[in-house]
Amino acid sequence: MTPFRLGTRGSPLALTQARMVADALRAAHDWPADAIETVVIRTTGDRVQDRPLAEIGGKALWTKELDRALLTQEVDACVHSMKDVETIRPAAIAVAAMLPRADVRDRLLGAESIEAIPHRAVVGTSSPRRRAQLLHLRPDLRVVPIRGNVDTRLAKLAAGEVDATLLAAAGLDRLDRPTVGAAIPTDVMLPAPAQGAVGVEVRADDAHALALVAAIDHADTHRCVAAERALLAGLGATCHSPVAALASLAGETLRLRASLLDEDGADEVCAALEGTGPEVGTELAAELLDRAPPAIRQLFQA
């Protein structure tokens, strides 16, 4: 049997997530170890490490090369952090599965809590959302861009380049650092849409791959992330837009919470809405844009 080829980026986190997907596929189909071949694809985002992502082109940096490998049939499926996948995807590509979502929270490194960060301290983050949320809570802080993988960032913190930084708990946990940093409750800091979710994409016309991968889909995660992504689409959000959102399920009811901020966190609009599917995201986006002051609305393209 020819192996099923799984495309992934080459960062330690990406490789771990690809291994999780490969393990799930092997378990679901009772496949031997060599039934899956992992193909590492280098992306622009991996090459350019010295500038903020938003500046060099945003989310497509992580997906463009993987999309090409998928569409040219170099691989049969691609593994992504759903947080890094653009809102609008090529019609020829479909999300076939999501793994069960990990811890959705951000973790703060360098202080026990956001209140405990020293006055006027320097916090490293290149995320417009984290920057705006931090400044909203602590206008005294100085936020500076920081990039690189988890190890690089921990080294910059240890070297005193920054006093504190924020990282996704999901990434730290998957890289076996479950004790690093303090988790920020979601009612203090709502995470990025799709944070903690790993997705697997296939060619939309490849019914065979679609069926194989759909066998590992975690339906609740998929529903929640689809609603969060519908919100982003409704907002016309880009990688520059400070937006936070989190969906949760209570039985069949899907509850979506979201927040939009301006770049410096001076203004924030929050809202929540319940429903059953991705239309909740579309409706909540309209409500938020309607209520947003001009300083926030101008950051969205809708």
Give the catalytic positions in this structure.
84
Contact region for ligand PBG (CB under 6 A) — 195-203, 251-259, 260-268, 294-302?
195-203
Choice between 20 and 121, CB closer to ligand PBG: 20
Phi, psi of 217 (to 5 degrees): -70, 135
Measured from the Cβ of residue 103, the count of other Cβ atoms closer than 10 Å reads 18
Question: Rounded to the nearest whole angstrom, what is the least distance from the CB of residue 84 to ligand PBG in the complex?
Answer: 5
Give residue 184's identity as a one-letter amino acid code. Answer: I
DSSP 102: -
Q: What is the maximum span of the chain, computed from C-alpha positions, in angstroms? A: 61
Question: Which strand (E) or helix (H) includes residue 222?
Answer: helix 219-235
Cβ 234 vs Cβ 302: under 8 Å: yes
Of residues 110 and 273, the one with the C-beta less far from ligand PBG:
110
Cβ at position 286, least distance to ligand PBG in Å: 26
From the CB of residue 298, how many other CB atoms can be counted at a distance below 10 Å?
A: 11
Smaller CB distance to ligand PBG: residue 133 or 195? 195
Q: Contacts with ligand PBG: how many residues (CB under 6 A)? A: 10
Residue least distant from ligand PBG (Cβ):
171
Q: Is residue 124 involved in binding ligand PBG (CB under 6 A)?
A: no
Tell the smallest beta-carbon distance from residue 296 to ligand PBG (Å).
22
Question: How far apart, in whole angstroms, are the C-alpha atoms of residue 126 and residue 166?
Answer: 10
Contact string (CB under 6 A) for ligand PBG, positions 138-177, x = contact: -----------------------------xx-xx------
Of residues 128, 181, 193, 196, which one binds ligand PBG by CB under 6 A? 196
Q: Which of residues 84, 86, 228, 268 is near ligand PBG by CB under 6 A? A: 84
Distances (CA, A) of 188 to 75, 183, 248: 41, 10, 16
Q: CA 119, CA 122: separation in Å to the nearest integer?
A: 9
- Paired tokens of 122: 């320097």
Does position 81 interact with ligand PBG (CB under 6 A)? The reply is yes
193 is an interface residue for ligand PBG by CB under 6 A: no
Q: Which residues of this protein are in contact with ligand PBG, per CB under 6 A?
A: 81, 83-84, 167-168, 170-171, 195-197
